[in-house]
Chain A
Amino acid sequence: MKVLNQLIEGVSSLRLTVFCLAAALVLVFAGTLAQVRFGLYLVQDEYFQSWFVWWQAPAGNFTLPVFPGGHLIGAVLLGNLIAAHIRRFSWAWKKIGIQLTHLGLIIMLAGGLATDLFSVHSFMRIKEGGNSNYSEDSMKMEFAVIDQTDPETEQVTAVPGERLASGGTITHESLPFQLAVRGFYQNSKLGMIGQGGTSVPAASQGTGQRVSVTAAARATRMNDRDSMSAVLEIIPVKGGDSLGTWLVSDALAAPQNFEFGGRRWSLQLRPARYYKPYSLTLLDFTHETYPGTQIPKNFSSKVNLSDLEVDDSRQVLIFMNHPLRYRGDTYYQSGFEPDNSGTILQVVRNPSYQAPYVACVIVSIGLIYQFLFHLIGFSRRKKTATAP
C-alpha cells in the first residue's frame, strides 16, 4: 500500500510536471534547430511524433534512444495532469481557474495525440472545367495495377509504396501474374540514356529501357519530397515466360501499358489516392495580385459539389482562410497549376479537429478567471494598504 501511495504521489507530483515541461522545452528547441539540417517533415517524425529520439551511431548499424520523443513526453504529461486533477480536485473559488485551465490542457493534449494518429492530409488537383472524385496523399505512394480492358470502368489493384520497400513478390487473386521487386529507391533520380555518362537502362521493358535510375538522399527541404522508384519483374502465375522488368517511378507521369492474357493492363507508381463518394467540378479559378506587383492578393476556387448518394449539388467558393467542410473532409485553397489553369486544394480528414477549439475556450476562460481573481485580490490589498 505504501508503494502504491508513493507511486500515486510520484505520478501526480509537481516535480514530474516540471521535469516534463523542461524535457519538452529541450526537445522543441533541439527539434527546431534540427529542422535546418533535416527539414520539417523528417524532424516531425523523429522528434515530435515519436516515443524516443534515436541516435544513429556513425559507425555500425545500431541506434540508441537518447531523449524522450514528443509522444512520450506528451503522454507522461497527460497522465500527470489527469492524476493531479483527480488527486487535488477541490471545489474552491480560487481554484476554479486552475482546474479549468488543466481540464482544457487535457483535452488539447488528447486531441493532439488523436490528430497525430488519425488525421490524413492529401491534395486534390482539378483543372478548370474538369472534375475529380479523389485526393492524393502528399507523402505516401501506392503502386497500382489497373485492368483497362473495359473502357467504362477501371479495375484498380493497389499496394502501398512501403510494400515495395520490403522486396519479395506481390501476388493478388485479381492478377494473373505476380510482381517480383528487383529494385527499390526511396528517393531516386532518373536520367535519359545516351545523354552523357555510361548509364545502364533501368529495365528491359517500357519506359525503363530509355531511362536509368540512381538512388538519391532523402529530401529534406520544405518543398521537396522523395521521388520513389522501383523495378519490377512480371512473372505469369501459371508458368510461362517472364514479361521482363519494368521501371515504375513517381517521376514518370504516364502509366505504362502492356497486354497479357487477352487483357489490357497498366502499371503506375503514384501518390496514394483516397476516393470520395462525391465529386468536385472546378467552375472558375481566380488569382488576384495587388496592382502593379506580383504580390498575391487572393486565390479562390469556385467549385460545384455534387453528391449522388444524398442527392446534393451546390456551388461553393473556397478561398484563403475560408475552407469547405463536407462529410468529414475539409478543403483548403492551397495552390494552383501553372498559368492558373487549375487549382490545388488541400484535403484534410481530421476526426479531432474540434478539440483545440474547445480546449482553447476552456483554457482561456480558466486563465482569465485566475488572472482577474488575483488582480482583484491584489488591488483590494493595495487599497487597504494605502488607506490611512
Chain B
Amino acid sequence: MNRLVPYLVLFLAALWIGASWMYPKTDPGEFDLSAFNRIPVLAGGRIKPMDTVARTSLLILRGKQTLRLPEGGKLSASRWLADVLFHPAKADAYPVFAVANQEVLGMFGFPQADKKYCTYDELKPHLAKITEEGRLAADMESAKRTPFQAAIFNLGNSIQLYQRLKSSIHQEGTAGFGKEIDTYAKAVAAGAANPGDGSGALDSDRLALLRAAVSRYERQSQFSYLMVVAPPAGGGEDDWLTTGAALMRVKSPDQIPASVSALADMGDAFRANDPAKFSKVTREYAGLLNIEHPEWAGRTSYELRFNQMEPFYHSMVLYVGAFLLACLSWLVCPKGLRKTAFLLLLLALAVHSFGMFSRMYLQGRPPVTNLYSSAIFVGWGAVALGLVLEHLYRDGIGSASSGMVGFITLIIAHHLGSSGDTLEMMQAVLDSNIWLATHVVVITAGYSAMFLAGFLAIAYVVLGLFTRLLTRESARKLTGMVYGIVCFATLFSFVGTVLGGIWADQSWGRFWGWDPKENGALLIVLWCALILHARWGGFIRQRGIMAMAIFGNAITAFSWFGVNMLGVGLHSYGFMDKAFPWLVAFIIFQVVLILLTRLPSKCWRSFREALPRDVTAAGFECQKGA
C-alpha cells in the first residue's frame, strides 16, 4: 500500500495541472470574452491574441494580470481591455496605474503612501507636468536617473501606452461606430460633388463630414497601439492595418473590411450592454478569421491556451513541494518521500518543458531569446541535470537542489516577465537562429550547471553543519557530484563563450571586445578553470571545492544579471534597477555560506567525530585510485 502513495500524490498533482487545461465556461447571459480573447491582432511586430495584449498591458501598467476594484471584486484582463477599447470613459475610472514613489504621489497632492493605484481620471490634471518631467528623464541615461525620475518616466510611458490602447479601434468618445463608418462610406461613394443641381458646386455639408472623418482616421491610425484589421485571405504580416488606415482606403460601403465592421458591431453591442449580440458578433468574427487565416488563428488559439494554463506558475508550485518533500525525506520516511519528491519533480519538469517548448513554437525560435527566457532555461537545465544526479545517487540531495533552483529561477522569470510581452521580436543583430540555438543555449546551460553545483555545495554546508546526516561516504559522493557538475559547467561555459566570440566576429567584426557581458562569461570560465586546477594541484580539498562552488553562484549571478545592471556595452538589453538589492543580498548570502565552510571540524555536527587526516578531495580521479 505504502508503495502506491507516491503515485497517488503524482496523480493528484497531475489532476491539478489538468484542471488548468480547461477553458472557463461562459454564461450564456454574459459577454463571451473567451471568443474575444482569441481574436488575433498585430502588436509589437507580431500577431497575438487579444488575451496577450490584455495581460501584458495590464502587467506593464499595474504589475498584475488582474484588476482589483476599490469597491471590491476583480476584473479579468480581457474585460478591462474590452472597456478600454470600447468604453474608454468607464475604463478611465479604474485604478490601473501603479505609482510606487512618494515624491511622485506628493507632486500630485495624494496622501503619502508606499504605493497607490491611480485612475486615469486622477492623473488627467497632471498630464502636462508628467510629460515635461518625463522628457527631462528621457534625456538621461537610465542608470543615472533618480528614483523620482525613473518613476515619472515609467508613469509617462504607461500613460502613453494606455492612451494609445484607447485609440486602437476608434477615437475616444465615439458613440455609434457602426453608424459612423456607414455614413462615412456612403459619403465617400457619393463623392463631394453636389449631384442636386448639376452645377458642379461642392456639397459643403458632405465635404465637412469627409474632412472631419479623414482627419479623425488619420490621427487614429498614427496613434493606435494595435493593428486590428486583418488582411483578406492570403495576405501577409505586413498587410495588417489600423482601422483608420483601412477606412481611408474605402471607396464605397461594400469595401469596409470585415474586421472593421465586426469590431464596430462588437463595440456598439458592448456599449449598449447587449451580451447576446456581442457574443454572437465576436464568435462569428473569430470563426471568420479561423477560415481566412487558419495558421494565425491556430497559433493565437494555442497562445491563449498557453496563457491560461500558466505552466510556469504550476511548475513553480510543484518545485517548492518537491523541495520540501526531499528535505523531509532526510528526517522521516526516507524512501517514500524521496520517491514522491522525485516523481513530482518529473511532473514539474514536464510542465516546465511544455511551457518552454510552447514558447519556442509560438516564437519560432530557440529557447533563449531574452533575459526572461534565459531564467526559464537556466531552471530547466538545472532541474534536468539534478534529476539525473538523483537518479544516479538516490539520496534526495539532487531532488532538493533542483527543486530549489527550479523555484528560484522561475520566481526570477516571473519578475522579469512584468515588463511586458516576453515573446518580443528580436533586434536585427540577434536575428540568427543558428547562433541563438548554439551560443546562447550552450552558455545558458553553463549557468544551469554552475547554479546546480553551487546549490549542491550549499546542501553540503547545511547538512554538514546543522545535521548529522552527512556521513564520510555521502560527503565524498556529494563532492564527486559537485566536481562532475563543475566539469560540465567548464565545458559548456567555455564552448558557449567561444561560440559567442565567433558570433561577435561574424556580426561586429571582432572576436573579443571586453564588453561587460563577455567579461562576465569569461569570469565564469576562469572560475571553473581555477576550481579544477586548484583541485588538481591539491590546493583545495573537500570543503575548499564546496566553498569555491558556492562562490560560483555569486559569479554566475553577476555574469547573468550584474553586468546588465552596469548599463554599458552592447549586451545591456535588460536593465533592471529593482533587482539590484536582491543581487547584492544573494551574493552576501553566498559569502556567509563560504565563511561557514571555514569553521573548524568540531563545529560541524556531521563531522564532530574527528575526521581522519587522510581524507582527500573526492572525485573521479580519487575513485580511480580506489
Chains A and B come from one and the same complex: yes
* A25-B523, A296-B428 given; A321·B566 CB < 8 A: no
Quick check: is A206 within 8 A (CB to CB) of the other chain?
no
Give the docked Cα–Cα distance between A174 and B563 (Å).
52
Q: For the complex, is A290 an interface residue (Cβ under 8 Å from B)?
A: yes
Q: Is A15's CB under 8 angstroms from B537's CB? A: yes
B510 touches A28 (CB 8 A): no
Q: Is B237 an interface residue (CB 8 A)?
A: yes
Q: How far is the CA of A381 from the CA of B487 in the complex (A)?
A: 18
Contacts A28-B519, A40-B515, A320-B431: A348 and B568 contacting too (C-beta < 8 A)? no
**Chain B residues positioned under 8 Å from A31 (CB to CB):** 514, 519
Contact status A291-B527, CB under 8 Å: no
Given contacts A32-B516, A292-B240, A296-B427, contact A18 B494 (CB under 8 A): no
**Does B508 sit at the interface, judged by CB under 8 A?**
yes
Of A191-199, A265-273, A304-312, A352-360, the one contacting chain B is: A352-360
Question: Given A32-B516, A43-B514, A24 and B495 touching (CB < 8 A)?
Answer: no
A285 contacts chain B at the CB level, 8 A cutoff: no
Partner of A35, one of B505, B507, B527, B568: B568
Q: Which of A1-9, A146-154, A232-240, A367-375 contacts B (4 or more CB under 8 A)?
A: A367-375
Contact mask for chain A residues 308-341; partner B; CB cutoff 8 A; 1 contact, 0 none: 0000000000001111000000101010000000
Q: Considering the chains assembled together, what is the distance between the CA atoms of A298 and B431 in angstroms?
A: 8
Is A17 located at the chain interface by the 8 A CB criterion? Answer: yes
Interface membership of chain B positions 5-35, coded 1 if the CB is closer than 8 angstroms to chain A and 0 otherwise = 0000000000000000000000000000000
A36 partner residues in chain B, CB cutoff 8 A: 143, 566-568
CA distance A32 to B503 in the complex (A): 21
Interface 9-mer from B154-162, B198-206, B528-536:
B528-536
Closest Cβ of chain B to A385, distance in Å, is 10
Are A297 and B569 interface neighbours, CB within 8 A? no
Contact of A32 among B498, B499, B512, B520 (CB under 8 A): B520
Count chain A residues whose beta carbon lies closer than 8 angstroms to a beta carbon of B. 63
Docked-complex contact B506 and A28, CB < 8 angstroms? no
Q: Which residues of chain A are within 8 angstroms of B45 by Cβ–Cβ distance? A: 289-293, 295, 297
Cα A28 to Cα B435 in complex, Å, equals: 25
Q: For residues 243 through 299 of chain A, which have their beta carbon under 8 Å from a beta carbon of chain B?
A: 289-293, 295-299
Cα–Cα, bound, A334→B501 (Å) = 17
B510, B511, B522, most chain A CB atoms within 10 A: B511
A356 & B429 in contact (Cβ 8 Å cutoff) = no
Determine the distance from Cα of A258 to Cα of B46 in the docked complex, in whole angstroms: 58
State whether B537 touches A320 (Cβ < 8 A).
Answer: no
**Considering only CB atoms, which chain A residue lies closest to B567 in the complex?**
A36
Q: A353, B511: Cβ atoms under 8 Å?
A: yes
Known contacts A18-B539, A21-B530, A40 near B514 by CB under 8 Å? yes
Task: Given A35-B569, A121-B509, verify A28-B526 contact (CB < 8 Å).
Answer: yes
Q: What is the bound-complex CA distance between A226 and B624, given in angstroms?
A: 60
Also in contact, A363 and B516, with CB within 8 A (given A293-B425, A332-B508, A346-B509): no
In the complex, the chain A residue whose C-beta lies closest to that of B534 is: A18
Q: In whole angstroms, how far apart are the Cα atoms of A248 and B409 in the complex? A: 56
Residues of A within 8 A of B417 (CB): none
Q: Does B397 contact A (CB under 8 A)?
A: no
Residue on B nearest A359 in the bound complex, by CB: B498
User: Knowing A292-B227, A382-B392 touch, does A363 contact B498 (C-beta < 8 A)?
Assistant: yes
Taking a contact as CB atoms under 8 Å apart, the answer to whether B522 and A28 are in contact is yes
Write out the residue numbers on chain B whose beta carbons fall within 8 Å of the beta carbon of A289: 45
Establish whether residues B425 and A332, one from each chain, have CB atoms under 8 Å apart when the complex forms: no
Report B532-574 residues with CB < 8 Å from chain A CB. Answer: 533-534, 536-537, 539, 563, 566-569
Q: Which residues of B contact A350 (CB under 8 A)?
A: 510
B-chain residues with CB within 8 Å of residue A298 when the two chains form the complex = 428, 431
Residue B176, interface by CB 8 Å? no
Complex: chain A residue closest to B540, CB-CB: A18
A76 contacts the other chain (CB 8 A): no
B533 close to A44 (CB less than 8 A) = no
Closest B residue to A292 using CB positions? B227
A360 pairs with B495, CB closer than 8 A: yes
- Which residues of the other chain, B, contact A121 by a CB distance below 8 angstroms? 509-510
When chains A and B are docked, how far (Å) is the Cα of A350 from the Cα of B516?
A: 22
The verdict on B213 contacting chain A, using a C-beta distance below 8 Å, is: no
Q: Which residue of A lies closest to B392 (CB)?
A: A382
Q: Residue A39 at the B interface, CB < 8 A?
A: yes
Residues of chain B in range 489-503 having any CB-CB distance to chain A below 8 Å? 490-491, 494-495, 498-499, 501-503
| A377 to B622 alpha-carbon distance, docked (Å) | 12
Pair B523/A28 contact, Cβ less than 8 Å:
yes
- Kindly list chain A residues whose C-beta atoms are within 8 Å of the C-beta of B456: none
Q: Are B487 and A374 in contact (CB under 8 A)?
A: yes
The smallest C-beta distance from B405 to any residue of chain A, in angstroms, reads 21
B431 lies within 8 A of A297 (CB): yes
Is B623 at the interface (CB under 8 A from chain A)?
yes
Give CA–CA (A115, B495) in the complex, Å.
20
- Check B523 against A21 for contact (C-beta < 8 Å): no
Chain B residue numbers with a CB within 8 Å of A22 are 530
A290 to B238, CA, bound (A): 8
Interface hub of A32, A39, A293 (most chain B Cβ within 10 A): A32
Nearest chain B CB to A92 CB, angstrom units: 13
Q: Is A364 an interface position by the 8 A CB rule?
A: yes
Chain A residue with Cβ nearest B565: A36
Contacts of B432 in A (CB 8 A): 320-321
**Contact partners of A21 in chain B: CB under 8 A:** 526, 529-530, 533
Chain B residues positioned under 8 Å from A28 (CB to CB): 519, 522-523, 526
Residues of A within 8 A of B502 (CB): 356-357, 360
- Interfacial residues of chain A within 215-244, with CB under 8 A of chain B in the complex: 222
Query: Which of A18, A35, A367, A377 contacts B620 (CB under 8 A)?
Result: A377
Once the chains bind, are A291 and B491 in contact (CB under 8 Å)?
A: no
Q: How far is the CB of B185 from chain A (nearest CB, A)?
A: 24
Q: Please tell me which one of the listed residues A332, A348, A378 contacts residue B484 in the complex, with CB atoms under 8 A apart.
A: A378
A14: CB under 8 A from chain B? yes
CA distance A297 to B425 in the complex (A): 9
Question: Is A112 positioned at the interface, with any CB of B under 8 Å from its CB?
Answer: yes
Q: Is the CB of A321 within 8 A of B488?
A: no
Closest B-chain residue to A330, C-beta based? B509
Given A121-B509, A290-B45, are A297 and B530 neighbors across the interface (CB < 8 Å)? no
Say yes or no for B44: interface residue by CB 8 A criterion.
Answer: yes
Q: How far is the CA of A320 from the CA of B435 in the complex (A)?
A: 12
A291 touches B431 (CB 8 A): no
Q: Does B42 contact A (CB under 8 A)?
A: yes
Contacts of A370 in B (CB 8 A): 487
Structural contact, A35 and B512, CB atoms closer than 8 A: no
In the assembled complex, B43 has its CB within 8 A of some CB on chain A: yes
Picked from A293, A321, A347, the residue with its CB within 8 Å of the CB of B429 is A321
Interfacial residues of chain A within 19-39, with CB under 8 A of chain B in the complex: 21-22, 24-25, 28-29, 31-33, 35-36, 39
Q: Which residue of chain A has its CB nearest to the CB of B41?
A: A292
Within the complex, which residue of B227, B487, B515, B522 is in contact with A371, where a contact is CB–CB below 8 Å? B487
Note all chain B residues with C-beta closer than 8 A to A367. 490-491, 494-495
In the bound complex, CA of A115 to CA of B491 (Å): 25
Q: Which residues of B contact A347 (CB under 8 A)?
A: 509
Q: Does A48 contact B (CB under 8 A)?
A: yes
Residues of chain B whose beta carbon lies under 8 Å from any beta carbon of chain A:
42-46, 143, 227, 237-238, 240, 392, 424-425, 427-429, 431-432, 435, 484, 487-488, 490-491, 494-495, 498-499, 501-503, 505-516, 519-520, 522-523, 526-527, 529-530, 533-534, 536-537, 539, 563, 566-569, 620, 623-624
- Having A222-B569, A334-B509, A350-B510, one finds 5 other A-B pairs with CB under 8 Å, namely A29-B523, A323-B506, A330-B509, A353-B511, A363-B494
Show 28 A/B contacts (Cβ-Cβ < 8 Å), sorted by A: A17-B533, A25-B526, A28-B523, A32-B523, A32-B563, A35-B516, A44-B513, A119-B510, A121-B509, A290-B45, A291-B42, A291-B237, A293-B44, A295-B427, A296-B428, A297-B428, A298-B428, A321-B429, A321-B431, A323-B506, A332-B507, A332-B508, A347-B509, A350-B510, A356-B501, A356-B505, A360-B502, A363-B498
Q: Across chains A and B, which 6 residue pairs bring their CB atoms closest together, nearest first?
A: A290-B45, A14-B537, A348-B509, A360-B498, A296-B428, A293-B45
